[in-house]
Each structure stands twice: as C-alpha cells, then as structure tokens.
Amino acid sequence: MNTQPPTTNHQQQTALVGIIMGSDSDLPVMQAAADILQQFGIDFELTVVSAHRTPQRMFQYAQGARGRGLKVIIAGAGGAAHLPGMVASLTPLPVIGVPIKSSNSIDGWDSVLSILQMPNGVPVATVALNAAKNAGILAAQLIGAFDETVGNRMAEYKLQLEAEVNQKVATLQG
C-alpha cells in the first residue's frame, strides 16, 4: 500500500471530488462512486488513506484538499470507521461518508454509527451502508448546484429515474 502523500491511482489535475477509503479492500464498494462521477463527467481522484494506519497521510490529504482544488470529499471506511469524521475535522470541505460493511463487522452497525454520530459543528453527510453510488450522486449534486452543465445532467438523471419507474408501471398495468 502506498503511504506517500496524495499520489493517486486515478490522479486528475482538475479533480473536483476526492474519493478516499480506509483500505484497498474497500475498493469493490467505493468503485461505484467513481463510476457515477465518471457518468456525470466530473473529474475525481481516488486513493487509500487510513485514519489508523497512515494518520500523517490523512492529515496531509485533508489539509491539502481544498488548496488542490477539491470541492467535496467522499470517504469510505468500515469497522472503527474514523476516516470520514477525522477528515471532516481537518478540512472546510463537505465530507460524504460511506459506511462499509467489513467482513468482521456487526452487520455494519459499527461502520454506520462511527460515521453518522458526529459532534455538533463537524457534520459528515452519511449515506446508507455500502451506498457509494449515492455518495457519488450527492457529490455530483453539490457540484451541480454551482456548475450549470452538471446541474442540467442531474436534472436529466432525475427525469430518467422517473421515466424508468413509469415504464415499469405501464408494463405492470399492461
């Protein structure tokens, strides 16, 4: 595992969203955030930052994120999932937390509660267990609030969701 500062395996000079995770074992879940951001045409970077195994790297990543041009950070972790909350404490950027159900977890409640139960003043926007796709969508919505192109793509995405349900209703009703 690379423990050097923010070198990433999907490095984008123009990255607006930083996707980080506590371990490379989180990648199969977190990939969904990357996929949806790609679909919306939003540049992102993706890397591993562990709150417990690489605390210095976490400090460096979080404190440098805004200066490097990131607008949102998506942080996924499992178990004693301190990464999203600690990163939120170190940056003025909004942080979206993805609780990951790790293999030894108590049904994922450990991950959910350790990301969700933040103290006043340091929020983490916590999505559902393993819901990295929703984290990506929420990040895109935050970007889309200020970027018209992304905002329009989001409006179109919503219409698509609606059309898909309407199509199913029509099929059910014959």
- Binding-site residue set for substrate: 23, 26, 53
Question: Interacting stretch for ligand RP5, rule CB under 6 A, among 31-39, 75-83, 152-160, 162-170?
Answer: 75-83
Nearest to 70 by CA among 14, 152, 2: 14
What one-letter code names the amino acid at 30?
M
77 binds ligand RP5 (CB under 6 A): yes
18 binds ligand RP5 (CB under 6 A): no
102 binds ligand RP5 (CB under 6 A): yes
- What is the CB neighbour count within 10 angstroms for residue 114? 21
Phi, psi of 39 (to 5 degrees): -60, -35
Residue list 31-70, contact with ligand RP5 (CB under 6 A): 50
Contact with ligand RP5 (CB under 6 A): which of 78, 99, 108, 136? 78
Q: Residue 1 to residues 49, 68, 82, 135, 142: CA-CA distances in angstroms?
A: 10, 23, 19, 24, 31
Contacts with ligand RP5 by CB under 6 A lie at 21-23, 25-26, 50, 77-79, 100, 102
